[in-house]
């Protein structure tokens, strides 16, 4: 039996997709990196204005909210019928930097190749903005003007920088973010066409470690072999963070969690991650265990002489930025301290070690026992015409934990237009347009079904 509402919304979304892709092209063209050292800040301002104006054009009261880190979040609201539930839709308009020389096509010019659309932010997260807008437009087309539910749409401008601006706003003004249901549009599906609800996020605990051994460089021929090498010491310290199989081995930090949801197939993971033939993936548990249920340590960068131009010297100083991803159930602050103490204990030869704690983000686990979760899972399945899966996300979205703290009664879940082929944060980021249309249809269906259930 066909569902007339579903059929009408599907037709509306299909008719809106050419506009959505044109607008995605316009939004991708704005180089909205929230770092004045990388891109002109006016690009970020233009993106914020684009989002505000687009939401205002759809009948929402849209305004800027300046966050403590100096960026503008867009907050738009709509009051639906009396006693109707409120749904908060989230996305962000800032993006990661893009180095054009590493891309096949211009990262700031949305380019179609083989059915995918390439450009910085196409999947993370401007494609989600267009999915939200398309869902709202489809709902509005059916009603003639309004929406079946009350709405709050929040689109921030510094998520990629991890500066915590919007989290501070949630803590200071929780009433502005109150909603029965929160849909975070900043993740994606486990594969193209596979509807996925993300129910767990790892938190993060970043630390910079600096090692010093002397007052200046020493000639390696005259002093090497007896003079302590700061870079060698740092390498030894970093190597102690994993065992021979690649498992995270930080003293005092459990690394044996097990993921109970949908499993990530080994061969699919190898293909998605681009692992070279003959190279083993690391860790002794399942892929899902390591991505979503266990802590993971990554060296993000090292301050050391470059190979080109290097000289025969013993290095007196070296530094590294170490990222620790923390699964639900572990406290990121305690995990960060465990990381610091482990590295301190692993430092050889009495070298001088200093630490700078540069970022914390709490993990999150979604409630899966709510009526809203059930309705959203059903809407996703109907929109994609496939069973809905549950997955975790190895990345961190600190705002999610802040919203859960402010409104513990809310049903919070994560969705998005990305999938493994999207290459978020990497060169040649892309989005499959079907992911935008399917997610837009799912959200539109969900808003109508949630309102009907409330009645």
Of 126, 107, 129, 128, the residue nearest 118 (C-alpha): 107
Q: Which residue matches tokens 């800027």?
A: 64
Separation between Cα atoms, residue 46 and residue 421, nearest integer Å? 29
Which residues 6+ apart lie within 8 Å of 332 measured at CB? 203, 204, 205, 324, 326, 360, 361, 362, 363
Give the three-state DSSP class for 221.
helix
Token readout for 227 is: 């003079």
304 and 214 in contact (C-beta within 8 Å)? no
DSSP single-letter state for residue 220: H
Is 337 noted as a catalytic residue in this protein?
no
Give the three-state DSSP class for 393.
strand
Whether the bond between 276 and the residue before it is cis, its omega within 30 degrees of 0, is: no
**Count of C-beta atoms within a 10 Å radius of residue 66:** 12
**Count of C-beta atoms within a 10 Å radius of residue 451:** 19
Is 102 noted as a catalytic residue in this protein?
no
Of 271, 297, 272, the residue nearest 283 (C-alpha): 297
Question: Which candidate in 94, 156, 180, 419 is catalytic?
Answer: 94
Separation between Cα atoms, residue 311 and residue 143, nearest integer Å? 71
213 and 228 in contact (C-beta within 8 Å)? yes
Q: Which residue matches tokens 């980021």?
A: 429
Token readout for 34 is: 């929230």
Question: Which candidate in 23, 159, 272, 419 is catalytic?
Answer: 159
Rounded to a whole number of angstroms, the distance between the first and last alpha carbons of the chain is: 23
171 and 402 in contact (C-beta within 8 Å)? yes
Annotated catalytic residues are 94, 159
């Amino acid at each position: 039996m066909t569902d007339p509402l579903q059929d009408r919304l599907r037709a509306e979304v299909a008719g809106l997709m050419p506009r959505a892709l044109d607008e995605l092209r316009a939004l991708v063209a704005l180089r909205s990196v929230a770092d004045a050292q990388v891109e002109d800040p006016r690009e970020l301002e233009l993106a914020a204005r684009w989002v505000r104006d687009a939401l205002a054009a759809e009948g929402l009261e849209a305004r800027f909210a300046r966050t403590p880190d100096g960026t503008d979040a867009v907050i738009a609201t709509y009051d639906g019928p009396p006693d109707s539930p409120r749904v908060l839709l989230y996305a962000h308009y800032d993006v990661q930097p893009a180095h054009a020389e590493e891309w096949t096509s211009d990262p700031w010019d949305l380019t179609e190749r083989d059915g995918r659309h390439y450009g910085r932010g196409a999947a993370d997260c401007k494609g989600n903005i267009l999915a939200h807008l398309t869902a709202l437009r489809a709902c509005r087309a059916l009603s003639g003007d309004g929406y079946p539910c009350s709405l709050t749409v929040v689109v921030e401008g510094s998520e990629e920088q991890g500066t915590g601006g919007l989290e501070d706003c949630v803590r200071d003004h929780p009433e502005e973010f109150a909603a029965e249901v929160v849909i975070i549009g900043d993740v994606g599906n486990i594969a193209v066409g596979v509807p996925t609800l993300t129910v767990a996020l790892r938190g993060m605990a970043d630390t910079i470690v600096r090692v010093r051994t002397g007052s200046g460089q020493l000639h390696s021929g005259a002093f090497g072999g007896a003079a302590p090498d700061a870079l060698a010491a740092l390498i030894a310290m970093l190597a102690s963070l994993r065992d021979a199989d690649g498992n995270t081995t930080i003293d005092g930090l459990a690394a044996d969690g097990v993921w109970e949801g949908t499993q990530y197939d080994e061969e699919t993971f190898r293909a998605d991650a681009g692992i070279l033939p003959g190279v083993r993936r690391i860790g002794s548990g399942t892929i899902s265990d390591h991505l979503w249920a266990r802590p993971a340590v990554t060296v993000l960068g090292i301050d050391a002489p470059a190979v080109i131009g290097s000289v025969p010297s013993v290095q007196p100083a070296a530094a590294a930025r170490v990222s620790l991803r923390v699964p639900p159930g572990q406290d990121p602050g305690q995990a960060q301290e465990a990381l610091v103490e482990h590295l301190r204990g692993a430092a050889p030869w009495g070298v001088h070690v200093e630490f700078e704690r540069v970022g914390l983000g709490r993990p999150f686990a979604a409630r899966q026992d709510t009526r809203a979760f059930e309705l959203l899972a059903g809407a996703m399945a109907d929109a994609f015409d496939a069973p809905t899966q549950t997955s975790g996300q190895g990345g961190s979205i600190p705002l999610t934990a802040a919203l859960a703290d402010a409104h513990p009664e809310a049903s919070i879940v994560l969705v998005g237009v990305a999938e493994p082929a999207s290459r978020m944060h990497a060169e040649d980021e892309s989005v499959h347009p079907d992911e935008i249309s399917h997610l837009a249809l799912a959200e539109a269906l969900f808003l109508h079904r949630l309102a009907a259930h409330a009645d």
